[in-house]
Amino acid sequence: MNETRPELRRILNDADNRLRGLISHLDRILSTPTQSWTYETRKQAMKGLSVAAYGIMEQLGFWMEQNVWIRGIVEIRGVVESVRTNAWHASLSESRIWGRTYLRQDLDKLIKLFGDGCECEMDMGSVDSSQAAQAIKYQFKERNEKPPEYLSVAEVANLLGVSRALVTRHFEHYPGVIDLSEKKDRRSRIRRYRTLRIPRGVLNRFIHERRVR
């Protein structure tokens, strides 16, 4: 973990414990042989997984609102939300195998994003906005990376675990989104392909607005 203030260290430890617990919970369910489940025990297990994921998703959203940015928090929250959704749908299914493939994909993504543990991208509460922007740019410069300022529809769809069509529908008229599509000729009947670029800050704002309260 990064060298951080005590309260941030506490948050990172809390995030570590929650995500490790979810990974372990998910792995335990996926490692249980299919024939070991009854329909009822599987439903209860999936409901429990969904509730656990929802609690973590809410906590990550709270930290985002408090301007504590754990590295990859948007991507992690998107995967946790996918776990919640897939587990809930699995709890409603009469099949003992429905959802295993999707949840396995979620587990692999979560393990990759979590890595060796949570680190703080930026303590936004300790600096003003201009200082924060400069600090973030410096961090990426030090790692020889370019800051991911603009995301494509495909990248946002992958982060949130939804379809590209759904992302386009939500963001094509959303304030701050850049539309690079060619202007449509009114006489043409060919549907225009939308080429959108979504600033990461706009995506974060959208997630905050859509969070269930």
What span, in angstroms and rounded, lies between the C-alpha atoms of 44 and 50? 10
Q: Is the pLDDT of residue 22 over 90?
A: yes
In a domain, 212, yes or no: no
Number of domains observed in the structure of the chain = 2
| 121 and 87 together in one domain | yes
The chain-wide mean pLDDT, for the chain, equals: 77
Contacts of residue 49, defined as CB under 8 A and 6 or more positions apart, other chains included, come to 25, 26, 29, 83, 87
| 172 and 127 together in one domain | no
| pLDDT confidence bin for 167, thresholds 50/70/90 | very high
- What is the predicted pLDDT for the residue at 146? 46
pLDDT digits (tens, 9 = 90+) for 77-135: 888 988 988 888 888 877 777 778 889 999 999 999 888 777 765 444 444 444 444 44
| 63 and 139 together in one domain | yes
Query: Is residue 45 classed as helix, strand or coil in its secondary structure?
Result: helix
In a domain, 29, yes or no: yes
Is 143 or 96 the better-scoring residue by pLDDT?
Answer: 96
- What is the predicted pLDDT for the residue at 108? 92
pLDDT digits (tens, 9 = 90+) for 36-60: 888 888 889 999 999 999 999 888 8
| 20 and 91 together in one domain | yes
Assign residue 191 a region: left if phi > 0, alpha if psi is -120 to 50, beta otherwise?
A: beta
What is the mean predicted confidence (pLDDT) over 161-166? 87
Q: Are strands 68-70 and 150-152 parallel, antiparallel or unpaired?
A: unpaired
The answer to whether 61 touches 208, Cβ cutoff 8 Å, is: yes
Which tokens go with 152? 């494509």
Q: Is the pTM of this model over 0.85?
A: no
| 29 and 89 together in one domain | yes
Percentage above 90 pLDDT, the chain = 15
Domain limits at 187?
Answer: 150-207
| 16 and 66 together in one domain | yes
| 191 and 93 together in one domain | no
- What is the predicted pLDDT for the residue at 88? 86
**Choice among 28-37, 43-52, 171-180, 202-211 with the minimum mean pLDDT:** 202-211
Place of tokens 């992302």: 167
pLDDT digits (tens, 9 = 90+) for 149-160: 688 888 888 888
Neighbouring C-beta atoms of residue 205, cutoff 10 Å:
14
| 17 and 76 together in one domain | yes
Is 76 or 194 the better-scoring residue by pLDDT?
Answer: 76
- What is the predicted pLDDT for the residue at 159? 81
